[in-house]
Chain A
């Protein structure tokens, strides 16, 4: 009964099912149809990563729109369409390009409900790629989600499995607020797991406990969940049992589950691929220090890249990304603290 599919397929399936169940759902972005006018639109790429392949032939050009290469135009169009009754899914190809369209997100979409006395809603979903490991250099490899989590009025989703990806994306489309959906580009093919064929939605603000363990809590997001799992396997052979918590959404953040877990284990490590200043690692560490101080048996550790742009050279890029070895070292240091 298991139905193992990739994160790439899970996203395509979620969009397809949302478009089938709700005629107000539309899709727009650069090359989302994949080269309109090219011979055989059915076989077109479907975005730079092939995620939206096959959607234009099924739903037509009115609902699946290739746009000019203008992030401002894509976001302005999507936010306006959302404010006037549609449910657009807009693609901001790489989160690194947010600089050219941030006003539409940060100061328009995020504020409409608040500025118009709760009378306006903006049910827009913005899908965007994050992450290093694709050898795409400093301008196409950043995580940047902490910058969105900083802003009230938008919801931030960072899935780590194909199952979560499908359920959270369907929830994002059904949600009446702006949602930024962060997809780690390396995980499209790297991650596959058991996904129901039916549509289903996972509620926001519900962390997933990925692994049980009593010695230490590791909070991790996106690809770092998998790095943490690798570290946990190694550590289990050394007799250290790690509990791994994936918040799944960083805004809203499931603070209760994180605090409960830290109270259980008394130790916390946060693994975050975003730059170390003001990232989710520092935010969650502060949360635990504030709310679970009495339970802590050792200082909280944050495992993050150094505060530098993502390097292009493969060796340097690899050194930049938090590795299972670095996570395991941080765990050992925390568990042996004071011993």
Chain B
């Protein structure tokens, strides 16, 4: 039978809280040829919108979901198959499609774990299993949800760990004096949790600096290093963003800050701003952010210099940067000798969200 040659496009699950998605537009007509990686349709959740790419070559045989319809995670959106698969087989596939149990929290979804690191609770979540694991480290003010478009896509053949750094997300709010070592201890502890001798580290922004520091200190434990718009490779940083983020309490203060993260500011939804504020309102978060910012940055300057230690680095490194980054200048991408550099067009400080497909491909090709 041709069943295996028929590929379902389903509503993705971006982050733990996503339960349904709305189709906002199709990039291709029914019957159009598609190549792996082509943009097929746009879907949005209450938090964010993104494009769904084809996972194989073929023909878009059916647009099952009309524009404007809202469907649960896992529901059928469309069908890709080679042109020689009969229409009847496609129809049978569509009518026989069963939505797999939606992986809601605590109901067979990715496991959320908490470990104690130096008296601090550190939260992480695991997607996929086996292989040489990847550990994802978010940046200043973020949490594991920064990887909502990344974690699933990387987890086909291996375990992918995304963690909340101290002071962030579901981890403890105590960060001591905010020194980088508080962050790196947590990263090293999550790396140990994988049970693997080597892990691939992927770090974004301040999480990139933490990942780089870990690779310098423990080259034996790191199989490869992917740094996305990392801190620590140059002096300049957008100090206005950092202090603004630490002090913002209200929507009208937070929205323009969140917009600075992206090349396309329309990505910033009301719900995204609300989620950032919800996190910042929790006891201890602002103090933690202030401590970290105070230890790492001074006005528009970064206090951390890791680029000068490039010659000590004994791990393959790639650097990914959005050309329109307004937080840390894209020019820093050339400051780490020996690293492979990829500059992404039409992306700001969050290329793994804004150009998820490209970034995921670069990571998968590198690990």
A314: interface (CB < 8 Å) = no
Distance to closest chain B CB from A239 (angstroms): 10
Q: Which of B280-297 contact A (CB under 8 A)?
A: 281-284
With beta carbons under 8 angstroms apart, the residue of A1, A202, A212 that contacts B270 is A212
Does B270 contact A167, Cβ atoms closer than 8 Å?
no
Does B170 contact A1, Cβ atoms closer than 8 Å?
yes
Does B283 contact A206, Cβ atoms closer than 8 Å?
no
With beta carbons under 8 angstroms apart, the residue of B17, B251, B282 that contacts A200 is B282
Which residues of the partner chain B approach A69 to less than 8 Å between Cβ atoms? none
Which residues of the partner chain A approach B17 to less than 8 Å between Cβ atoms? 1-2
Question: A218 vs B170: C-alpha distance in the bound complex, in angstroms?
Answer: 34
Does B250 contact A1, Cβ atoms closer than 8 Å?
no
Does A2 contact B283, Cβ atoms closer than 8 Å?
no
With beta carbons under 8 angstroms apart, the residue of B105, B250, B281 that contacts A2 is B105
Given contacts A1-B105, A206-B250, contact A199 B170 (CB under 8 A): no
Q: Which of A207-265 contact B (CB under 8 A)?
A: 208-209, 212, 256-257
Given contacts A1-B17, A1-B105, A1-B170, contact A202 B250 (CB under 8 A): no
Distance to closest chain A CB from B47 (angstroms): 12
B16: interface (CB < 8 Å) = yes
Distance to closest chain B CB from A290 (angstroms): 21
Distance to closest chain A CB from B17 (angstroms): 7
A309: interface (CB < 8 Å) = no
A196: interface (CB < 8 Å) = yes
Does B250 contact A198, Cβ atoms closer than 8 Å?
no
Q: State the interface size on chain A (CB cutoff 8 A).
A: 18
Q: Which residue on A lies nearest to B170, using beta carbons?
A: A1
Given contacts A2-B17, A2-B105, A212-B270, contact A206 B282 (CB under 8 A): no
A201: interface (CB < 8 Å) = yes
Q: Which residue on B lies nearest to A3, using beta carbons?
A: B105
Given contacts A1-B17, A2-B105, A198-B282, contact A206 B270 (CB under 8 A): no
Q: State the interface size on chain B (CB cutoff 8 A).
A: 17
Question: A206 vs B255: C-alpha distance in the bound complex, in angstroms?
Answer: 14
Q: Which residue on B lies nearest to A17, using beta carbons?
A: B283
Which residues of the partner chain B approach A21 to less than 8 Å between Cβ atoms? 283
Which residues of the partner chain A approach B252 to less than 8 Å between Cβ atoms? 256
Question: A212 vs B282: C-alpha distance in the bound complex, in angstroms?
Answer: 25
Distance to closest chain A CB from B163 (angstroms): 14
Does A199 contact B282, Cβ atoms closer than 8 Å?
yes
Does B281 contact A167, Cβ atoms closer than 8 Å?
yes
Which residues of the partner chain B approach A206 to less than 8 Å between Cβ atoms? 250-251
B24: interface (CB < 8 Å) = no
Chain A 3-36: CB-based contact to B (< 8 A → 1; otherwise 0)? 0000000000000000001000000000000000
Chain B 251-294: CB-based contact to A (< 8 A → 1; otherwise 0)? 11000000000000000001000100010011110000000000
Q: Which residue on A lies nearest to B19, using beta carbons?
A: A2
Distance to closest chain B CB from A137 (angstroms): 39
Interface centre among B170, B250, B270, B281 (most CB of A within 10 A): B281
B249: interface (CB < 8 Å) = yes
Q: Which residue on A lies nearest to B269, using beta carbons?
A: A212
Distance to closest chain B CB from A267 (angstroms): 19
B117: interface (CB < 8 Å) = no
7 interchain pairs, CB-CB under 8 A? A2-B17, A21-B283, A199-B282, A199-B283, A200-B282, A202-B281, A203-B249
Known A-B contacts: A198-B282, A202-B281. Give 20 more (CB < 8 A): A1-B16, A1-B17, A1-B105, A1-B112, A163-B278, A196-B278, A196-B282, A198-B284, A199-B282, A199-B283, A200-B278, A200-B281, A201-B281, A203-B249, A203-B250, A206-B250, A208-B274, A209-B270, A212-B270, A256-B252
